[in-house]
Amino acid sequence: QVQLVESGGGLVQPGGSLRLSCAASGSIFRINFMGWYRQAPGKQRELVTTISYDDTTNYADSVKGRFTISRDNAKNAVYLEMNSLKPEDTAVYYCNANPRFFDWGQGTQVTVSS
């Protein structure tokens, strides 16, 4: 079973940037859609963005124009570049297939606060 390890989170001021990484222990080459999800305190986990095997991307309206997803199948990795961060982006961020296929990793905490 492939395991997912997210990293790159941290504390950042509003307007700042972070780059998240997701390392898979096995191949994601055959996974059509990979995505980033997030879960804010007291809220359900939500899908933020997806990327297909041919690099077609989709974004939730709340992050469109600010976040960029990418994938490197050779490295079994997925990335999330986050710019112009807002306090409402504060959450634990997870990567997984869409629809979910792998067990959830531990996630990486992103906190946007002054």
Residues in the chain, overall count: 114
Q: What is the residue-averaged pLDDT of the chain?
A: 96
Give tens-digit pLDDT for 47-74. 999 999 999 999 999 999 999 999 999 9
Q: How many helices (H) and strands (E) does the chain have?
A: 0, 10
Enumerate the H helices of the chain as residue ranges: none
Between CA 52 and CA 11 the distance in angstroms is 29
Query: What confidence score (pLDDT) does residue 96 get?
Result: 95
How buried is 16 (Cβ within 10 angstroms: 0-12 exposed, 13-18 middle, 19+ buried)? middle
Helix (H, G, I), strand (E, B) or coil at 75: helix
List 47's β-bridge partners, or say none: 37
Position 29 confidence tier, pLDDT thresholds 50, 70, 90: confident
Query: What confidence score (pLDDT) does residue 55 get?
Result: 93
Position 7 confidence tier, pLDDT thresholds 50, 70, 90: very high
